[in-house]
Structures are given as C-alpha cells and as structure tokens.
C-alpha cells in the first residue's frame, strides 16, 4: 500500500493540535484542530480546521496522481495561508509512508517562495507538516511553518 492509499484508508474524523510557527510574533502558536479524510476518485481529500489568535481557520488538500508517471498532484488552500487562491503542488510517486508535495507562491517584489507539505498517515495517527522554503537565491532553506498531529475520533 502506498501513502495515497494509506491516506484514503484513513477516511473519517480526526482530532488533534496544530502548531503554527507564527512569523509575526516569532513564537509557536498552538490551537485545537480537526481533520476529515475522504476518498475521492483517484485520490483523497483532507480538510482541516484550526485557529489563529482565536479566529477560526480552515484548509483543504486534494491529492491525486498525475498521468501515467503516477506522480503526486495536489491543490491546497487555507484561509490564513493562501486566502482564496489554491496552490498547485506536485511531488514524486507516493511512497510507503509520506505524501510530499511542493508548490510556490509570489512574494513581490522578490522571487517566488516555496511551500512543502508532508502528510504521514498510519499507526493510528495522522501528521501534517508544512515548510516555508526560501528562494534558491537566498539559500533555499526550509523552515518549519505548521505541524499538526491527529488521532482518530
């Protein structure tokens, strides 16, 4: 079973904690979080809720495969991170443990920045980790942005 199949097998409701590395306050901000996994034709959908400074937030990631190569394709949206513009993401073929996709976002007047999302289902838990990726011209380092860990409800 690959990680996309494993995510589909996690269909149902999840509850846990989301930790945002708050770029405005330079501290970690924890909030209760929920997640729901739904199988969809050819993939899986992951919806989640969390809060920032007491304001409810929500996000969604739609995972599938891209063509004969079987590489990952995803669309991610989050009320706090992306607003109303979904981010197109892609990644390698699903492995046995983690779905990993990358996308980019504009950061005018400079170069685009990257974003990496890793989703690891299994062992009775569901883990989502997101990284902000600096432009290559600025070193390309990856910084932890969000980590959410869930247990089945």
Task: Give me the DSSP letters along 46-84.
Answer: EEEEEEETTEEEEEEEEEEEETTTTEEEEEEEETTTTTT
Q: What is the pLDDT of residues 97-117, one digit of tens each?
A: 999 999 999 999 999 999 999
Share of the chain above pLDDT 70, in %: 100
Nearest CA among 109, 115, 117 for reference residue 134: 115
Nearest to 71 by CA among 42, 48, 41: 42
43-52 and 142-152 beta bridge pairing: unpaired
Q: Which candidate, 52, 2, 6, 13, places its Cα nearest to that of 32?
A: 52
Distance, CA of 5 to CA of 82 (rounded, Å): 27
Instruction: Name residue 98's beta-bridge partners.
Output: none
Structural domains for the chain: 3-152 (2.40.128.20)
DSSP character for 96? S
Give 122's strand partners: 125
pTM value > 0.85 = yes
In the structure encoding, which two tokens stand for residue 146, read together? 């969000």
Phi, psi of 49 (to 5 degrees): -125, 155
As a whole number, the mean pLDDT across the chain is: 94
pLDDT digits (tens, 9 = 90+) for 31-73: 999 999 999 999 999 999 999 999 999 999 999 998 888 899 9
């Amino acid at each position: 079973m690959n990680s996309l199949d494993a995510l589909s097998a996690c269909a149902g409701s999840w509850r846990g904690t989301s930790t945002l590395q708050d770029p405005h306050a330079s501290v970690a901000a924890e909030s209760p979080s929920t997640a729901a996994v739904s199988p969809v034709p050819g993939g899986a959908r992951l919806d989640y809720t969390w809060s920032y400074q007491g304001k409810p937030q929500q996000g969604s990631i739609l995972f599938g495969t891209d063509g004969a190569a079987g590489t990952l394709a995803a669309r991610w949206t989050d009320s706090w991170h992306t607003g109303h513009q979904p981010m197109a993401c892609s990644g390698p073929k699903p492995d046995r443990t983690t779905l990993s996709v990358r996308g980019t976002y504009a950061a005018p007047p400079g170069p685009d920045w990257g974003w990496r999302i890793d989703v690891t289902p299994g062992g009775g838990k569901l883990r989502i980790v997101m990284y902000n990726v600096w432009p290559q011209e600025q070193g390309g380092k990856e910084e932890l942005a969000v980590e959410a860990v869930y247990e089945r409800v």
